[in-house]
Amino acid sequence: MEDIRGPFRASEAIAAGRTSRGRVAGPNTQRLFPDVHASVGQVAEPSDLAGRAREAALYVKGAPAVIGGYAAAELHGASCGPRTAPVDLIVGRRRVRPRPGLRIHQDVLAPDEVVAAGDLLVTSTLRTAWDLVRRLDGDGGVVALDALARAGTFDPVELLALAQLHPRSRGSRRVADAVVRADPRSASPPETRMRLGLLAEGVPAAVPQLEVRDARGWFVAHVDLGWEEAKVAAEYQGDHHRTDREQWMHDQARFAELASAGWLVLPCTALDLRFPHAFAVRVLAALAERAR
């Protein structure tokens, strides 16, 4: 007997002598899916999307399932959706019963649409973007496309070729609009949402991750969004910028350096992402003042 770390298939572990039926049925082991268990204390939290994907991958026996959707993006290092999202499993033509927390897709993937992420199989960054953009309404598809194109270093325009190859795919009409609005220079989903929110409110387009240099040509910082001629920047400030003392001190020093180089920095919060109009008014006022 041994303490098995991480999720495991009970039938295989029992056959290999790694555990027993009694231990599997005991209070120290939790059932996740049929034949899939984990020791109590090692079960992935609801917010651990990558961990839940590892558990879900064991549910499908035979040929391994391929992880897609938001879970694939998470495993690619391109987190772009709710961490509590269901795990998408792509199983080909097999019939697999859905389970709570899982979405089963009977898609057939091309060989170049499947890659390894450690010991798991996941859809490629391009295929993951294709699936998410077709599924998501509004800005969600653009957020996913920005994150995955940045992680996978592909041009969003490449999605248009897939749309031409699969014109009858559900949601394929959303692809062209997402490609036009995408800009993988955005370094995080909140930065993409900030950029899209300002554009929707009529603010002139800014440059994501603009490099700022001082009058001597020395590097000062990269700003989330920058209007170079006006020397105005918009910076997204997540909760960690407020709660992490070191991050807060770093931000203050950085803002001081930008100010000394003649730049005005406008902070953007999660509330501004929800209600972008007021933030857009502040940005437009700053641009107008700098123009004068």
Share of the chain above pLDDT 70, in %: 97
Fold category of 189-291 in CATH:
Endonuclease; Chain A (3.40.960)
Q: What is the mean pLDDT of residues 5-19?
A: 92
Sequence-ordered list of residues with C-beta below 8 angstroms from that of 177, at least 6 positions apart, any chain: none
The backbone torsions φ and ψ at residue 211, rounded to the nearest 5 degrees and listed phi first, read -85, 125
Report domain extents, the chain.
Answer: 1-43, 46-181, 189-291
Residue 3 has pLDDT above 80, yes or no: no
pLDDT tens-digit map of 32-56: 999 999 999 899 999 999 999 999 9
pTM: 0.91
At how many degrees (to 10) do helices 173-181 and 158-165 cross?
A: 170
Describe the chain by its helix, strand, coil percentages, rounded to 5.
45, 20, 40
Over residues 71-112, the pLDDT tens digits come to 999 999 999 999 999 999 999 989 899 899 999 999 999 999
Phi, psi angles (nearest 5°) of residue 132: -70, -40
Give the SS3 label for residue 137: coil
Confidence band, pLDDT 50/70/90 cuts, at residue 279: very high
CA distances from 82 to 73, 140, 257 (A): 11, 11, 34
Confidence of residue 240 (pLDDT cuts 50, 70, 90): low
Strands 102-105 and 87-90: parallel
pLDDT at 247 over 80: no
Q: Which of 9-18, 143-152, 195-204 has the lowest mean pLDDT?
A: 9-18
